[in-house]
Chain A
Amino acid sequence: MLVLKILSFAGLILTVIPSFFVFAGIISLEVNKNLMIIGTILWFATSPFWINKEKTNGVQENA
Protein backbone atom coordinates (compact mmCIF):
# COMPACT_ATOMS: atom_id res chain seq x y z
CA MET A 1 0.00 0.00 0.00
CA LEU A 2 2.82 2.39 0.93
CA VAL A 3 4.58 1.76 -2.40
CA LEU A 4 1.33 2.46 -4.26
CA LYS A 5 0.85 5.68 -2.33
CA ILE A 6 4.39 6.79 -3.11
CA LEU A 7 3.82 6.04 -6.82
CA SER A 8 0.50 7.94 -6.73
CA PHE A 9 2.09 11.03 -5.20
CA ALA A 10 4.95 10.74 -7.69
CA GLY A 11 2.25 10.87 -10.38
CA LEU A 12 0.77 14.04 -8.91
CA ILE A 13 4.23 15.60 -8.62
CA LEU A 14 4.94 14.75 -12.27
CA THR A 15 1.63 16.36 -13.22
CA VAL A 16 2.27 19.70 -11.57
CA ILE A 17 5.97 20.33 -10.81
CA PRO A 18 7.35 20.32 -14.39
CA SER A 19 5.12 23.30 -15.22
CA PHE A 20 7.20 25.36 -12.77
CA PHE A 21 10.30 24.26 -14.71
CA VAL A 22 8.62 25.57 -17.89
CA PHE A 23 8.01 28.85 -16.07
CA ALA A 24 11.68 28.94 -15.05
CA GLY A 25 12.73 28.22 -18.66
CA ILE A 26 14.37 24.87 -17.76
CA ILE A 27 12.17 22.62 -19.93
CA SER A 28 9.84 23.23 -22.89
CA LEU A 29 6.05 23.16 -22.79
CA GLU A 30 6.07 20.02 -24.99
CA VAL A 31 8.26 18.14 -22.50
CA ASN A 32 5.92 19.33 -19.75
CA LYS A 33 2.91 17.92 -21.64
CA ASN A 34 4.64 14.53 -21.93
CA LEU A 35 5.54 14.49 -18.24
CA MET A 36 1.96 15.45 -17.36
CA ILE A 37 0.55 12.48 -19.26
CA ILE A 38 3.04 10.12 -17.54
CA GLY A 39 2.03 11.61 -14.18
CA THR A 40 -1.64 11.20 -15.07
CA ILE A 41 -1.21 7.52 -16.01
CA LEU A 42 0.78 6.90 -12.81
CA TRP A 43 -1.91 8.56 -10.66
CA PHE A 44 -4.88 6.75 -12.22
CA ALA A 45 -3.05 3.41 -12.30
CA THR A 46 -2.17 3.42 -8.60
CA SER A 47 -4.55 5.66 -6.61
CA PRO A 48 -7.75 3.56 -7.10
CA PHE A 49 -6.14 0.84 -4.99
CA TRP A 50 -6.05 3.01 -1.87
CA ILE A 51 -7.93 6.30 -2.24
CA ASN A 52 -11.54 5.08 -1.91
CA LYS A 53 -10.64 2.80 0.97
CA GLU A 54 -9.74 5.88 2.98
CA LYS A 55 -12.83 7.91 2.03
CA THR A 56 -15.86 7.94 4.25
CA ASN A 57 -19.01 7.35 2.24
CA GLY A 58 -21.81 8.99 4.19
CA VAL A 59 -21.16 12.64 3.50
CA GLN A 60 -20.52 12.36 -0.20
CA GLU A 61 -23.29 9.95 -1.02
CA ASN A 62 -25.79 12.07 0.77
CA ALA A 63 -24.69 15.14 -1.11
Chain B
Amino acid sequence: MAKKGIVQTLDSIDEFEREPVPEKSLKGWKSFLGMYAGEHTAGTEFVIGPLFVAHGVTAGDLFLGLFLGNLLAVLSWAFLTAPIATRFRLTLYYMLEKIAGTKVVRIYNFVNALMFCFLAGAMISVSATAIGIPFHLKMPSLNDWLPTTAGWVVTVIIVGMATTFIAMYGYNYVSKFANIAAPWMILVFIAAAIGVLPELGVKSVDSFWGVAKSTIWTGRLMPGQSKFTMWHVMFFAWFCNMAMHIGMADLSILRYAKRWYQGFSSAVGMFIGHFIAWIASGILYALYLVESNFSMEFAPGQIAFRAAGVTGAICVVIAGLTTSNPTLYRAGLAIQSIRPKWKTWRVTLVVGLFTTLAACFPALMMKLLDFVAIYGLLLMPMGAVIFMDVYVIPRLKLKQSYAEFFNRDLNWAALLAWLITLGICMLLNKYYGLEVYFLGLPGWFIASLIYILGSKLSQKKYLMKGV
Protein backbone atom coordinates (compact mmCIF):
# COMPACT_ATOMS: atom_id res chain seq x y z
CA MET B 1 0.00 0.00 0.00
CA ALA B 2 2.75 2.38 1.01
CA LYS B 3 4.86 1.40 -2.00
CA LYS B 4 1.86 1.95 -4.26
CA GLY B 5 1.56 5.46 -2.78
CA ILE B 6 5.16 6.27 -3.65
CA VAL B 7 4.76 4.98 -7.18
CA GLN B 8 1.66 7.11 -7.59
CA THR B 9 3.49 10.14 -6.26
CA LEU B 10 6.42 9.53 -8.58
CA ASP B 11 4.02 9.21 -11.48
CA SER B 12 2.40 12.50 -10.59
CA ILE B 13 5.82 14.18 -10.39
CA ASP B 14 6.60 12.89 -13.86
CA GLU B 15 3.47 14.60 -15.12
CA PHE B 16 4.27 17.27 -17.71
CA GLU B 17 7.95 16.91 -16.87
CA ARG B 18 9.00 17.50 -20.49
CA GLU B 19 6.02 19.39 -21.87
CA PRO B 20 4.11 22.55 -20.99
CA VAL B 21 1.32 22.15 -18.45
CA PRO B 22 -1.94 21.96 -20.46
CA GLU B 23 -4.75 24.47 -19.95
CA LYS B 24 -7.01 21.95 -18.18
CA SER B 25 -4.44 21.29 -15.46
CA LEU B 26 -3.97 24.91 -14.41
CA LYS B 27 -4.77 25.80 -10.81
CA GLY B 28 -6.56 28.70 -9.17
CA TRP B 29 -5.49 31.02 -6.36
CA LYS B 30 -6.63 28.65 -3.61
CA SER B 31 -4.07 25.96 -4.49
CA PHE B 32 -1.17 28.41 -4.39
CA LEU B 33 -2.31 30.20 -1.24
CA GLY B 34 -2.53 26.86 0.60
CA MET B 35 0.76 25.62 -0.79
CA TYR B 36 2.74 28.76 0.07
CA ALA B 37 1.18 29.07 3.54
CA GLY B 38 2.07 25.45 4.35
CA GLU B 39 5.53 25.47 2.77
CA HIS B 40 6.72 28.54 4.67
CA THR B 41 5.37 27.68 8.11
CA ALA B 42 7.79 24.91 8.90
CA GLY B 43 10.38 23.59 11.31
CA THR B 44 12.95 26.16 10.18
CA GLU B 45 10.76 28.94 11.63
CA PHE B 46 11.41 27.59 15.15
CA VAL B 47 15.13 28.23 14.60
CA ILE B 48 15.26 31.39 12.49
CA GLY B 49 13.18 33.60 14.83
CA PRO B 50 15.33 32.77 17.90
CA LEU B 51 18.57 33.16 15.94
CA PHE B 52 17.59 36.77 15.10
CA VAL B 53 17.35 37.38 18.86
CA ALA B 54 20.73 35.68 19.40
CA HIS B 55 22.26 37.87 16.66
CA GLY B 56 21.29 40.99 18.62
CA VAL B 57 18.62 42.44 16.32
CA THR B 58 16.72 45.40 17.73
CA ALA B 59 12.92 45.49 17.59
CA GLY B 60 12.77 48.33 15.06
CA ASP B 61 15.33 46.66 12.78
CA LEU B 62 13.48 43.36 12.97
CA PHE B 63 10.02 44.66 12.06
CA LEU B 64 11.24 46.99 9.30
CA GLY B 65 13.70 44.42 7.92
CA LEU B 66 11.12 41.64 7.87
CA PHE B 67 8.51 43.86 6.22
CA LEU B 68 10.84 45.06 3.45
CA GLY B 69 12.60 41.72 2.92
CA ASN B 70 9.39 39.73 2.69
CA LEU B 71 7.90 42.34 0.36
CA LEU B 72 10.94 42.05 -1.92
CA ALA B 73 10.64 38.25 -1.86
CA VAL B 74 6.98 38.44 -2.92
CA LEU B 75 7.85 40.90 -5.70
CA SER B 76 10.63 38.55 -6.86
CA TRP B 77 8.17 35.67 -7.12
CA ALA B 78 5.57 37.82 -8.84
CA PHE B 79 7.75 39.74 -11.31
CA LEU B 80 10.69 37.38 -11.94
CA THR B 81 9.50 33.78 -11.53
CA ALA B 82 5.77 33.80 -12.29
CA PRO B 83 5.88 35.56 -15.71
CA ILE B 84 8.45 33.04 -17.03
CA ALA B 85 6.59 30.15 -15.39
CA THR B 86 3.24 31.05 -16.98
CA ARG B 87 4.80 31.89 -20.37
CA PHE B 88 6.63 28.58 -20.88
CA ARG B 89 4.89 26.34 -18.29
CA LEU B 90 7.98 24.12 -17.96
CA THR B 91 9.86 22.82 -14.93
CA LEU B 92 13.10 24.48 -13.90
CA TYR B 93 14.95 21.32 -14.85
CA TYR B 94 13.59 21.19 -18.37
CA MET B 95 14.17 24.92 -18.93
CA LEU B 96 17.72 24.48 -17.65
CA GLU B 97 18.28 21.45 -19.87
CA LYS B 98 17.18 23.41 -22.95
CA ILE B 99 19.40 26.37 -22.08
CA ALA B 100 22.42 24.93 -20.27
CA GLY B 101 22.43 21.27 -21.32
CA THR B 102 22.09 17.96 -19.50
CA LYS B 103 25.57 18.11 -17.94
CA VAL B 104 24.78 21.36 -16.12
CA VAL B 105 21.43 19.95 -14.98
CA ARG B 106 23.27 16.96 -13.49
CA ILE B 107 25.61 19.24 -11.51
CA TYR B 108 22.62 21.38 -10.47
CA ASN B 109 20.78 18.28 -9.24
CA PHE B 110 23.76 17.09 -7.25
CA VAL B 111 24.25 20.48 -5.54
CA ASN B 112 20.51 20.71 -4.92
CA ALA B 113 20.42 17.22 -3.40
CA LEU B 114 23.33 18.05 -1.11
CA MET B 115 21.59 21.23 0.09
CA PHE B 116 18.32 19.32 0.62
CA CYS B 117 20.21 16.79 2.76
CA PHE B 118 21.67 19.50 5.00
CA LEU B 119 18.29 21.24 5.32
CA ALA B 120 16.60 17.95 6.23
CA GLY B 121 19.45 17.29 8.66
CA ALA B 122 18.83 20.61 10.42
CA MET B 123 15.15 19.72 10.77
CA ILE B 124 15.98 16.30 12.21
CA SER B 125 18.08 18.11 14.84
CA VAL B 126 15.12 20.41 15.59
CA SER B 127 12.79 17.42 16.09
CA ALA B 128 15.41 15.74 18.30
CA THR B 129 15.32 18.71 20.70
CA ALA B 130 11.63 17.96 21.33
CA ILE B 131 11.94 14.16 21.42
CA GLY B 132 14.70 14.50 24.02
CA ILE B 133 12.54 16.43 26.53
CA PRO B 134 11.09 13.42 28.43
CA PHE B 135 14.60 11.95 28.70
CA HIS B 136 16.10 15.21 30.09
CA LEU B 137 18.60 15.16 27.26
CA LYS B 138 21.41 17.71 27.51
CA MET B 139 20.89 20.00 24.53
CA PRO B 140 23.66 21.52 22.40
CA SER B 141 24.47 25.20 22.83
CA LEU B 142 24.54 28.04 20.29
CA ASN B 143 28.25 27.72 19.57
CA ASP B 144 28.36 23.90 19.40
CA TRP B 145 29.35 22.56 16.00
CA LEU B 146 30.26 18.97 16.89
CA PRO B 147 28.06 16.28 18.51
CA THR B 148 27.88 17.06 22.22
CA THR B 149 26.72 13.91 24.05
CA ALA B 150 26.06 10.25 23.25
CA GLY B 151 22.40 10.86 24.17
CA TRP B 152 22.15 13.58 21.52
CA VAL B 153 23.66 11.33 18.85
CA VAL B 154 21.37 8.40 19.73
CA THR B 155 18.26 10.65 19.67
CA VAL B 156 19.23 12.15 16.30
CA ILE B 157 19.91 8.70 14.83
CA ILE B 158 16.48 7.44 16.00
CA VAL B 159 14.70 10.52 14.59
CA GLY B 160 16.78 10.42 11.40
CA MET B 161 16.13 6.76 10.71
CA ALA B 162 12.42 7.15 11.42
CA THR B 163 12.30 10.10 9.00
CA THR B 164 14.21 8.11 6.37
CA PHE B 165 11.88 5.11 6.56
CA ILE B 166 8.84 7.36 6.38
CA ALA B 167 10.34 9.09 3.33
CA MET B 168 10.98 5.67 1.75
CA TYR B 169 7.59 4.14 2.31
CA GLY B 170 5.11 6.74 3.40
CA TYR B 171 5.88 9.97 1.58
CA ASN B 172 2.33 10.24 0.32
CA TYR B 173 0.92 9.97 3.85
CA VAL B 174 3.28 12.58 5.25
CA SER B 175 2.44 14.97 2.42
CA LYS B 176 -1.25 14.57 3.32
CA PHE B 177 -0.42 14.89 7.01
CA ALA B 178 1.48 18.12 6.25
CA ASN B 179 -1.69 19.56 4.68
CA ILE B 180 -3.56 18.77 7.90
CA ALA B 181 -0.85 20.10 10.21
CA ALA B 182 -0.21 23.43 8.39
CA PRO B 183 -3.16 25.54 9.67
CA TRP B 184 -2.81 24.12 13.18
CA MET B 185 0.92 24.74 13.25
CA ILE B 186 0.74 28.48 12.57
CA LEU B 187 -1.97 28.82 15.26
CA VAL B 188 0.30 27.05 17.77
CA PHE B 189 3.07 29.56 16.91
CA ILE B 190 0.68 32.47 17.50
CA ALA B 191 -0.97 31.02 20.62
CA ALA B 192 2.38 30.13 22.23
CA ALA B 193 3.67 33.68 21.75
CA ILE B 194 0.48 35.45 22.88
CA GLY B 195 0.26 33.22 25.95
CA VAL B 196 3.72 34.09 27.28
CA LEU B 197 3.60 37.83 26.58
CA PRO B 198 2.34 38.67 30.13
CA GLU B 199 5.35 36.84 31.60
CA LEU B 200 7.61 39.10 29.57
CA GLY B 201 5.82 42.12 30.97
CA VAL B 202 3.33 42.87 28.18
CA LYS B 203 0.12 43.66 30.02
CA SER B 204 -1.71 45.45 27.19
CA VAL B 205 -1.39 45.96 23.44
CA ASP B 206 0.05 49.43 24.09
CA SER B 207 2.87 48.05 26.21
CA PHE B 208 4.04 45.55 23.56
CA TRP B 209 6.43 47.85 21.74
CA GLY B 210 8.18 48.97 24.91
CA VAL B 211 8.74 45.37 26.04
CA ALA B 212 9.74 44.34 22.51
CA LYS B 213 12.55 46.90 22.62
CA SER B 214 13.60 46.37 26.24
CA THR B 215 13.18 42.60 26.73
CA ILE B 216 12.67 40.71 23.45
CA TRP B 217 14.73 42.19 20.60
CA THR B 218 17.06 44.15 22.82
CA GLY B 219 20.07 44.31 20.50
CA ARG B 220 22.03 42.27 23.06
CA LEU B 221 24.36 39.93 21.22
CA MET B 222 24.79 36.34 22.42
CA PRO B 223 28.47 35.31 22.75
CA GLY B 224 29.98 33.98 19.53
CA GLN B 225 27.25 35.47 17.28
CA SER B 226 27.70 38.25 14.69
CA LYS B 227 25.73 41.49 14.99
CA PHE B 228 22.63 41.77 12.79
CA THR B 229 21.24 45.09 11.55
CA MET B 230 18.07 45.95 9.65
CA TRP B 231 19.98 45.22 6.43
CA HIS B 232 20.85 41.69 7.58
CA VAL B 233 17.21 40.97 8.42
CA MET B 234 15.95 42.50 5.16
CA PHE B 235 18.40 40.64 2.93
CA PHE B 236 17.93 37.40 4.84
CA ALA B 237 14.13 37.60 4.51
CA TRP B 238 14.50 38.42 0.80
CA PHE B 239 17.14 35.82 -0.05
CA CYS B 240 16.33 32.90 2.27
CA ASN B 241 14.18 31.50 -0.53
CA MET B 242 16.40 32.88 -3.26
CA ALA B 243 16.73 29.44 -4.87
CA MET B 244 12.93 29.40 -5.24
CA HIS B 245 12.23 32.86 -6.69
CA ILE B 246 15.32 34.53 -8.20
CA GLY B 247 16.87 31.06 -8.65
CA MET B 248 13.67 30.01 -10.50
CA ALA B 249 13.12 26.65 -8.71
CA ASP B 250 9.46 27.63 -8.31
CA LEU B 251 8.99 27.60 -12.07
CA SER B 252 8.02 23.98 -11.37
CA ILE B 253 5.17 25.16 -9.13
CA LEU B 254 4.02 28.40 -10.73
CA ARG B 255 3.81 26.81 -14.21
CA TYR B 256 0.42 25.60 -12.97
CA ALA B 257 -0.80 29.18 -12.37
CA LYS B 258 -3.51 30.52 -14.69
CA ARG B 259 -2.04 34.04 -14.65
CA TRP B 260 1.37 35.45 -13.74
CA TYR B 261 -0.02 37.59 -10.93
CA GLN B 262 -0.81 34.43 -8.96
CA GLY B 263 2.86 34.75 -8.01
CA PHE B 264 1.59 37.26 -5.42
CA SER B 265 0.10 34.28 -3.53
CA SER B 266 3.61 33.84 -2.08
CA ALA B 267 2.69 36.81 0.18
CA VAL B 268 0.70 34.41 2.36
CA GLY B 269 3.79 32.29 3.01
CA MET B 270 6.01 35.29 3.57
CA PHE B 271 3.78 37.30 5.86
CA ILE B 272 2.41 34.36 7.87
CA GLY B 273 5.44 32.09 7.99
CA HIS B 274 8.33 34.50 7.63
CA PHE B 275 6.80 37.40 9.53
CA ILE B 276 4.35 36.21 12.18
CA ALA B 277 6.06 32.84 12.86
CA TRP B 278 9.56 34.38 13.10
CA ILE B 279 8.30 37.06 15.46
CA ALA B 280 6.41 34.45 17.54
CA SER B 281 9.40 32.11 17.86
CA GLY B 282 11.60 35.09 18.75
CA ILE B 283 9.23 35.96 21.60
CA LEU B 284 9.39 32.37 22.93
CA TYR B 285 13.20 32.41 22.84
CA ALA B 286 13.34 35.76 24.64
CA LEU B 287 11.32 34.28 27.52
CA TYR B 288 13.67 31.28 27.62
CA LEU B 289 16.69 33.60 27.74
CA VAL B 290 15.22 35.70 30.55
CA GLU B 291 14.29 32.63 32.62
CA SER B 292 17.55 30.77 31.99
CA ASN B 293 19.71 33.83 32.69
CA PHE B 294 20.85 33.93 29.05
CA SER B 295 21.80 30.26 28.84
CA MET B 296 23.72 29.31 25.71
CA GLU B 297 21.77 26.06 25.39
CA PHE B 298 19.59 26.16 22.28
CA ALA B 299 16.69 23.73 21.95
CA PRO B 300 13.57 24.76 19.99
CA GLY B 301 11.69 21.77 21.45
CA GLN B 302 12.24 22.90 25.03
CA ILE B 303 11.44 26.51 24.15
CA ALA B 304 8.09 25.52 22.62
CA PHE B 305 7.34 23.12 25.49
CA ARG B 306 7.86 25.90 28.04
CA ALA B 307 5.33 28.13 26.28
CA ALA B 308 2.72 25.72 24.92
CA GLY B 309 3.24 22.50 26.90
CA VAL B 310 2.88 19.16 25.15
CA THR B 311 1.24 20.88 22.15
CA GLY B 312 4.37 22.98 21.66
CA ALA B 313 6.66 19.94 21.77
CA ILE B 314 4.38 18.03 19.37
CA CYS B 315 4.36 21.05 17.08
CA VAL B 316 8.19 21.08 16.93
CA VAL B 317 8.30 17.35 16.14
CA ILE B 318 5.62 17.66 13.45
CA ALA B 319 7.16 20.83 11.98
CA GLY B 320 10.54 19.08 11.81
CA LEU B 321 9.08 15.92 10.30
CA THR B 322 6.87 17.63 7.71
CA THR B 323 9.86 19.70 6.58
CA SER B 324 12.58 17.03 6.67
CA ASN B 325 10.49 14.29 5.10
CA PRO B 326 9.65 15.91 1.73
CA THR B 327 13.10 17.50 1.66
CA LEU B 328 14.73 14.09 2.05
CA TYR B 329 12.42 12.66 -0.57
CA ARG B 330 13.27 15.46 -3.02
CA ALA B 331 16.98 14.92 -2.36
CA GLY B 332 16.48 11.28 -3.31
CA LEU B 333 14.65 12.29 -6.49
CA ALA B 334 17.40 14.75 -7.42
CA ILE B 335 20.05 12.04 -7.04
CA GLN B 336 17.89 9.55 -8.88
CA SER B 337 17.56 11.91 -11.84
CA ILE B 338 21.36 11.70 -12.21
CA ARG B 339 21.21 7.88 -12.11
CA PRO B 340 17.67 6.98 -13.23
CA LYS B 341 18.29 3.22 -12.97
CA TRP B 342 18.80 3.36 -9.20
CA LYS B 343 15.72 2.37 -7.20
CA THR B 344 14.00 5.28 -5.48
CA TRP B 345 13.84 3.61 -2.07
CA ARG B 346 17.53 2.70 -2.14
CA VAL B 347 18.53 6.23 -3.10
CA THR B 348 16.32 7.63 -0.33
CA LEU B 349 17.86 5.20 2.17
CA VAL B 350 21.43 6.24 1.28
CA VAL B 351 20.47 9.93 1.28
CA GLY B 352 18.71 9.43 4.64
CA LEU B 353 21.76 7.80 6.21
CA PHE B 354 23.97 10.65 5.02
CA THR B 355 21.45 13.21 6.28
CA THR B 356 21.18 11.51 9.67
CA LEU B 357 24.95 11.53 10.01
CA ALA B 358 25.00 15.24 9.15
CA ALA B 359 22.19 15.93 11.65
CA CYS B 360 24.37 14.67 14.51
CA PHE B 361 26.36 17.89 14.08
CA PRO B 362 24.46 20.73 15.81
CA ALA B 363 26.26 23.19 13.51
CA LEU B 364 23.53 22.59 10.92
CA MET B 365 20.89 23.94 13.30
CA MET B 366 23.00 26.64 14.97
CA LYS B 367 24.27 28.01 11.65
CA LEU B 368 20.93 27.70 9.87
CA LEU B 369 20.90 31.38 8.85
CA ASP B 370 24.27 31.05 7.11
CA PHE B 371 23.33 27.72 5.56
CA VAL B 372 20.02 29.01 4.15
CA ALA B 373 21.82 32.05 2.69
CA ILE B 374 24.50 29.82 1.09
CA TYR B 375 21.82 27.48 -0.26
CA GLY B 376 20.10 30.36 -2.08
CA LEU B 377 23.38 31.79 -3.32
CA LEU B 378 24.62 28.46 -4.73
CA LEU B 379 21.56 27.96 -6.94
CA MET B 380 20.82 31.61 -7.78
CA PRO B 381 23.15 31.94 -10.84
CA MET B 382 21.03 29.45 -12.81
CA GLY B 383 18.01 31.71 -12.22
CA ALA B 384 19.95 34.65 -13.64
CA VAL B 385 20.88 32.53 -16.66
CA ILE B 386 17.22 31.63 -17.31
CA PHE B 387 16.10 35.26 -16.86
CA MET B 388 18.73 36.54 -19.31
CA ASP B 389 17.98 33.78 -21.79
CA VAL B 390 14.30 34.72 -21.82
CA TYR B 391 14.50 38.53 -21.86
CA VAL B 392 17.96 39.67 -22.99
CA ILE B 393 19.47 37.03 -25.31
CA PRO B 394 16.81 37.48 -28.05
CA ARG B 395 17.29 41.28 -27.99
CA LEU B 396 20.99 40.75 -28.70
CA LYS B 397 20.05 38.67 -31.75
CA LEU B 398 21.44 35.55 -30.08
CA LYS B 399 19.74 32.18 -29.96
CA GLN B 400 17.67 31.24 -26.93
CA SER B 401 17.84 27.73 -25.47
CA TYR B 402 21.40 27.23 -26.70
CA ALA B 403 21.75 23.56 -25.73
CA GLU B 404 18.52 22.59 -27.46
CA PHE B 405 19.04 24.79 -30.56
CA PHE B 406 22.65 23.73 -31.20
CA ASN B 407 22.08 20.19 -29.90
CA ARG B 408 24.77 20.45 -27.20
CA ASP B 409 24.84 18.75 -23.79
CA LEU B 410 26.88 21.56 -22.24
CA ASN B 411 26.49 25.33 -22.55
CA TRP B 412 29.84 26.68 -21.36
CA ALA B 413 28.42 30.20 -20.98
CA ALA B 414 25.92 28.94 -18.39
CA LEU B 415 28.42 26.77 -16.53
CA LEU B 416 31.03 29.55 -16.42
CA ALA B 417 28.38 32.07 -15.30
CA TRP B 418 27.64 29.75 -12.40
CA LEU B 419 31.20 28.90 -11.38
CA ILE B 420 32.76 32.36 -11.89
CA THR B 421 29.89 34.05 -10.00
CA LEU B 422 30.36 31.75 -7.02
CA GLY B 423 34.13 32.27 -7.20
CA ILE B 424 33.75 36.08 -7.21
CA CYS B 425 31.21 35.89 -4.37
CA MET B 426 33.69 33.82 -2.36
CA LEU B 427 36.39 36.46 -2.96
CA LEU B 428 33.98 39.27 -1.99
CA ASN B 429 33.29 37.39 1.22
CA LYS B 430 36.87 36.47 2.03
CA TYR B 431 38.76 39.61 1.05
CA TYR B 432 36.15 42.38 1.23
CA GLY B 433 34.22 41.01 4.22
CA LEU B 434 30.85 41.13 2.43
CA GLU B 435 28.69 38.77 4.50
CA VAL B 436 26.98 35.82 2.84
CA TYR B 437 23.51 37.36 3.36
CA PHE B 438 24.31 40.18 0.93
CA LEU B 439 26.18 38.30 -1.79
CA GLY B 440 23.07 37.33 -3.76
CA LEU B 441 22.48 40.84 -5.09
CA PRO B 442 25.87 41.52 -6.73
CA GLY B 443 25.98 37.80 -7.60
CA TRP B 444 22.85 38.06 -9.76
CA PHE B 445 24.30 40.90 -11.85
CA ILE B 446 27.67 39.14 -12.16
CA ALA B 447 26.01 35.89 -13.32
CA SER B 448 23.84 37.79 -15.82
CA LEU B 449 26.81 39.68 -17.27
CA ILE B 450 29.00 36.58 -17.58
CA TYR B 451 26.19 34.64 -19.24
CA ILE B 452 25.58 37.37 -21.81
CA LEU B 453 29.30 37.78 -22.60
CA GLY B 454 29.77 33.99 -22.67
CA SER B 455 26.77 33.56 -24.99
CA LYS B 456 28.11 36.23 -27.35
CA LEU B 457 31.45 34.46 -27.54
CA SER B 458 30.11 30.93 -27.80
CA GLN B 459 27.49 31.79 -30.44
CA LYS B 460 29.79 34.03 -32.49
CA LYS B 461 31.10 31.25 -34.76
CA TYR B 462 27.61 29.89 -35.38
CA LEU B 463 26.16 33.29 -36.10
CA MET B 464 28.98 34.07 -38.55
CA LYS B 465 28.12 30.83 -40.37
CA GLY B 466 24.54 32.08 -40.47
CA VAL B 467 23.05 29.26 -38.40
Contact = CB atoms under 8 A, between A and B. Distances in A.
B266 interface: no
Nearest to B256: A59
Contacts of A20: 194
Interface residues of B, number: 41
Nearest to B25: A58
A47 to B, nearest CB: 5
A63 B9 contact: no
A55 to B, nearest CB: 5
Contacts of B15: 58, 62
Given A36-B309, A44-B180, A52-B179, A60 B188 contact: no
Given A44-B180, A61-B13, A62-B12, A15 B310 contact: no
Contacts of A32: 191, 195
Given A18-B191, A23-B197, A62-B13, A52 B176 contact: yes
Contacts of A58: 12, 15, 25, 27, 31, 256
Contacts of A3: none
B195 A59 contact: no
Given A16-B187, A47-B180, A63 B253 contact: yes
B256 A62 contact: yes
B35 interface: yes
Nearest to B199: A29
A33 to B, nearest CB: 3
A52 B179 CA distance: 7
Interface string B246-279: 0000001100100000000000000000000000
Nearest to B9: A61
A22 to B, nearest CB: 5
A51 interface: yes
Given A18-B191, A60-B175, A62-B15, A37 B309 contact: yes
Q: From A29, A60, A61, name the one whose CB has the most chain B CB atoms within 10 angstroms.
A: A60
B314 interface: yes
B39 interface: yes
Given A60-B175, A62-B15, A22 B180 contact: no
A12 interface: yes
A26 B27 CA distance: 45
Interface in B324-366: 326
Contacts of B34: 55, 60
Interface of B: 9, 12-13, 15, 25, 27, 30-32, 34-35, 38-39, 91, 175-176, 179-180, 183-184, 187-188, 190-192, 194-199, 202, 252-253, 256, 308-311, 314, 326
Ordered nearest first, which 9 A-B pairs have the shortest CB separation? A33-B309, A19-B191, A19-B195, A19-B194, A36-B311, A16-B187, A59-B31, A16-B191, A22-B195
11 contacts: A16-B190, A18-B195, A22-B195, A23-B197, A36-B191, A43-B180, A43-B184, A44-B184, A60-B175, A63-B39, A63-B326
Interface of A: 11-12, 15-16, 18-20, 22-23, 25, 29-30, 32-34, 36-37, 39-40, 43-44, 47-48, 51-52, 55-63
Given A59-B35, A62-B13, 15 more contacts: A29-B199, A36-B309, A40-B311, A52-B176, A52-B179, A57-B12, A58-B25, A59-B31, A60-B31, A60-B35, A60-B38, A60-B175, A62-B12, A63-B39, A63-B252
